[in-house]
Amino acid sequence: MTDQSRMPPSLDYVARIERVLKHLEATDLTEAPDLDKMAGIAALSPFHFHRVYRLMTGETPAETIRRIRLARAVPALKQSVELATEASGYATSQAFARALKAETGHTASEIRRSVPLRESLEHRLRHPATAETPLGIEIVAADPLTLTALRNTGAYPELNAVYQRLFDLVFSQLSMEHLAGLYGYQHDDPRHTAPEACRAEVAVDVGGKAELTEDLYHIVVPSGLYARLRHLGDYDAIQPAMDTLYLAVIDAGYALADQPLHLHFLDDPEEVATADLRCDLFLPLSINPLA
């Protein structure tokens, strides 16, 4: 038997709130559970329960209930909005659609049409990022991309010249209007790899329309779930953000997909101050978390 008197207080509160979460997961939820009952399950005073619950989970009990109800409904959207409404416990499809849009930012029709989006939302609703990962890290769905790329081995701060060559090769064929995004892969850690041995791939999204002349090739980035973190500042100082993202994913118990982390550069260093540069890091995940 566990000696509760020796259990660290934080773990004690985790166990209390987990009891409430398990209760909610096992409940019909067509009617809102009584707050006093939830406080009793947590063995907390009703005066303190709401605040402790929010601090431990990152959401209010009402938000948890709405999230669980919608998580139960998302898989049913594959069949119809009516079946999803029934699964969610909402009285009307209009009420369900409003709640779904408010919670996810997407309409029922958008979610029905996109398998990656349904998978992402079902996972996010059942495992909210606010309760599992550090601030700023999100679990997102991504549609497939076909990137046009060049390989390079050498110091990462010198990649600007490689991107310039990529642009020369691609946009001698296409107009700049085809440019939908600037991407990259950094396969080595320059803190542990000699600069001259650092492998990288520089890439642009032009919808796969560039002719593969000289050293150009395509990278197909598959659809699926990704952990995303936005790095702010110098693009040459991005490695610590990679560490943060990997650690968060490992701590949260996610399985990593068999493909590399990729970078989406959102700003042009020639037009934006170094301190204001933005880059999104995408770490690919398997759909199922680790056991």
Statement to judge: residues 118 and 149 lie in one domain: no
Task: Look at residue 222 and tell me if it is in a domain.
Answer: yes
Statement to judge: residues 94 and 173 lie in one domain: no
Domain that holds residue 105: 64-132
Statement to judge: residues 41 and 172 lie in one domain: no
The rounded average pLDDT for each run of 10 residues, N- to C-terminus, in the chain (291 residues) is 38 77 84 85 80 77 86 84 82 85 84 81 68 62 94 94 96 95 92 90 96 94 92 90 83 79 93 92 74 40
Statement to judge: residues 70 and 26 lie in one domain: no
pLDDT of residue 290: 43
Distance CA 102, CA 91 (A): 17
Sheet strands side by side (includes 181-186): 137-142, 224-232, 278-285, 262-265, 181-186, 199-205, 145-153, 217-221
Statement to judge: residues 213 and 149 lie in one domain: yes
Statement to judge: residues 128 and 74 lie in one domain: yes
Number of domains, the chain: 3
Statement to judge: residues 195 and 273 lie in one domain: yes
pLDDT of residue 289: 46
Query: Are the CB atoms for 249 and 256 separated by under 8 Å?
Result: yes
Task: Look at residue 71 and tell me if it is in a domain.
Answer: yes
pLDDT of residue 29: 77
Statement to judge: residues 73 and 193 lie in one domain: no
pLDDT of residue 120: 78
pLDDT of residue 287: 66
Query: Are the CB atoms for 108 and 84 separated by under 8 Å?
Result: yes
pLDDT of residue 131: 41
Task: Look at residue 188 and tell me if it is in a domain.
Answer: yes
Task: Look at residue 78 and tell me if it is in a domain.
Answer: yes
Task: Look at residue 137 and tell me if it is in a domain.
Answer: no
Distance CA 277, CA 271 (A): 10
Q: 3-state class of 1 per DSSP? A: coil
pLDDT of residue 153: 96
